[in-house]
Structure 1
Amino acid sequence: MKSVHDYTTTIRWTGNRGEGTRAYKGYERNWNLEGEGKPVISCSNDPLLGGNAEKYNPEDLLLAAVASCHMLWFLHLASNLGIVIESYEDNPVAKGEMEPSGKGRFVSCTLRPVITVSEGNLDEAYAIHERIHEFCFIARSVAFPIDIQADIQRT
């Protein structure tokens, strides 16, 4: 039997300059991501859509969710195989497209983790990346391909 559970968060718009959304350019695209017992993250819209470039936007957060889910499953599966990971850093990139109508979507994502291993088989470490899509909640939920370009080095 499948286990079902809920995830909750609060999204609170903070961009009302006093007139609400009376004029399209009269409000800010800023909002807070809030969760009980968690720090507030101040966010905004994509700068291409009038947002603040100094804040995380929904696209940044989705990319971070894909990359961090992949990382956490990699660490888990590596540990199960006796592969000792000493460091993991990823600088992922996602490609988005915008239609003339304003409709946008992600069309691809490339994860580029640089990983250092002190113990274990490097070939097995590379092979883990191919299995993660079977487990990662986020990767199993998105509608775009995720490519992995891992660089795994021995310490």
Structure 2
Amino acid sequence: MHQHASAIIWTGNRGQGTASYRGYDRTWDIAVPGKPVIHCSNDPLLGGDPGKMNPEDLLLSALSACHMLWFLHYAADAAIVVTAYEDCPLGIAEAGPGGAGRFLGATLRPRITVAAGTDIAAAAAIHHRIPEVCFIARSVNFPVDHQPRFVIA
């Protein structure tokens, strides 16, 4: 068993609290002891600050990061030398009546630089193993697609 703890601190009280719907900001801080504070807001489509992370950004980033870490682990086990990895994941979401929303799916689009002589088919096959072990991928209820691109160093 692992425990994960966080503190979410609402920072959007303009002085009147929630006395009116438009009278407060949808901002908060994520504060985990010993780590930098992350200043957040809700989605800009819902009036949030576009310069701050929102829950959707954080979920998509967590999904991508978890996938990356497992890919690197399996690559090392398979003697596949990865020298760079970056991802620009794309999440597709919908908002329903009343503002209730959900992710419909996500596509991870990593650009992975590997050493010359790498078996690209073997490297690509790793992506199919990750959903079985990635904590975040196993926790979401929407499909996650993988479209890796490989670059030979």
1:80 aligns with 2:77: yes
Task: Classify the secondary structure of the residue corresponding to 2:9.
Answer: strand
Which residue of structure 2 lines up, in the alignment, with residue 124 of structure 1? Answer: 122
Equivalent of 1:12, from 5, 9, 17? 9
Q: Which string of whole-angstrom CA distances, capped at 9 and with x for unpartnered residues, describes residues 100-130 of structure 1?
A: 2321000000000000101532111000000
Calculate the aligned-residue CA RMSD, in Å: 0.8
Which residue of structure 2 lines up, in the alignment, with residue 43 of structure 1? Answer: 40
Q: Which string of whole-angstrom CA distances, capped at 9 and with x for unpartnered residues, describes residues 63-102 of structure 1?
A: 0000000000000000000000010010000000111232
Identity of aligned residues (%): 55
Which residue of structure 2 lines up, in the alignment, with residue 56 of structure 1? Answer: 53
TM-score where L is the length of structure 1: 0.96
> Unaligned regions of 5+ residues in structure 2, if any?
none
Equivalent of 2:90, from 93, 108, 112? 93
- CA displacement at 1:50 relative to structure 2: 1.5
| Equivalent residues in 2 for 1:134-145, closer than 5 Å | 134-145=132-143
Take 1:153 and 1:45, find their aligned partners in 2: how far apart are those partners? Answer: 36
> Unaligned regions of 5+ residues in structure 1, if any?
none
- Aligned partner of 1:140: which letter? R
Take 1:100 and 1:5, find their aligned partners in 2: how far apart are those partners? Answer: 37
TM-score where L is the length of structure 2: 0.97
